[in-house]
Structure 1
Amino acid sequence: MSIATLERPETAPAMGFEELQAFLFAEVRALDDRDWDTWLTFYHKDCPFWMPAWDDYDTLTEDPQNEMSLMFYPNKQGIEDRVFRIKTDRSSATSLPEPRTNHYLSGIEVLSREGSEIKLRFNWQTLSYRYSKTDQHWGTSFYTIDTSGPKPLITDKKVVLKNDHIHHVIDVYHI
């Protein structure tokens, strides 16, 4: 299914489970394909992207403004800045060469639907290959998706990394 098929007429019925699944698969496919411009189209301009950290008591931090986070972008502009740095090699955190990744999603669960807003969670695993070494990351993601427009948009993204003992920089394409 292409990105174009995810666009919906304004009078379309509520997004079904298969459409939600296709939306999520298309987002991670853009990451795996390093299609950064397409990946950015999945995000609403006000979407925060947050990966909390685990504290010393094995509890997730709760406030990205005042506590440690593994990753935090308060809106799409922060995500766009990260993509710009990836694309132009303007960051010391950029992995060169970029790793080859493969994302797997499972346990997709709709938590709630209110009007055009859908809250969901799913488990994921990402394998990445770089310098003849394969790494793996896994966790659970929580998304809020707005389906009111012609294309669904992620309006809130929280990623919980379960294997947070990592030996290198983790980036948006790892999760």
Structure 2
Amino acid sequence: MSISIDQVNKFLFEEARYLDDKEWDSWLEMYAADASYWVPSWDDTGELTEDPQTEISLMYYASRSGLEDRVFRINTDKSSATSLPQPRTSHNLSNIEIVEASDEQCKVRFNWVNYAYRYEHVYTYFGTSFYTLDISGERPKIKAKKVVLKNDYIHHVVDIYHL
């Protein structure tokens, strides 16, 4: 199956909507079982860490099961990192491009801004995301998601709904 930029846009906008609407089960369905989710951190010299296995990351899940656990904790308030009440978010995507494609997979890059409102404060997060989509089935699935958070200073714990 090949994929068009319009189909990629629709897919990414759908994921953003699921995050904003807190439709966690639908959001998780967008990920392949073996999908990785990685948010590298910036080192002391201003460079991104390169290996989630040996260097510090802001977040790293080696498979969808890690994301499922995170969603379980969000839904059941069983995590000290969970924000209560959960913030209202608005994910905004731009500069979406297909950087590589084959019949089986598609690599996508885009910029994003997310606004999160909680306790009378608006927090802004921004960055660039890199996805590898499995497009071999009826519906695309995220195989790998790398989120480069470009904020230099974060005032509190960052969670999946911030990115």
Place the TM-score, normalised by the shorter chain, in its bin: over 0.9
Give the SS at the match of 2:34: coil
- State the partner residue of 2:61: 73
Query: TM-score, normalized by length of structure 1?
Result: 0.92
Give the SS at the match of 1:15: coil
1:108-147 per-residue CA deviation (whole Å, 9 max, x = no partner) reads 0111012220001000000000001100000000000011
- State the partner residue of 1:29: 17
CA separation in 1, counterparts of 2:11 and 2:26? 12
CA separation in 1, counterparts of 2:11 and 2:97? 14
CA separation in 2, counterparts of 1:73 and 1:96? 23
Stretches of structure 2 that go unaligned for 5 or more consecutive residues are none
1:106 maps to 2:94:
yes
Q: CA deviation at 1:15?
A: 1.4
User: What stretches of structure 1 move > 4 A for 4+ residues in a row?
Assistant: none
Q: CA deviation at 1:150?
A: 1.3
Stretches of structure 1 that go unaligned for 5 or more consecutive residues are 1-12
Identical residues among aligned pairs (%): 55
1:7-39 per-residue CA deviation (whole Å, 9 max, x = no partner) reads xxxxxx521111110000000100000000100
The aligned length equals: 163
1:159 maps to 2:116:
no
- State the partner residue of 1:147: 135
Return the structure number with greater strand share.
2
- State the partner residue of 1:3: none
- Computed over aligned residues only, the root mean square deviation of the Cα atoms, in angstroms, reads 0.7
CA separation in 2, counterparts of 1:19 and 1:114? 15
- State the partner residue of 2:2: 14
CA separation in 1, counterparts of 2:104 and 2:11? 15
- State the partner residue of 2:81: 93
Moved more, 108-117 or 131-140: 108-117
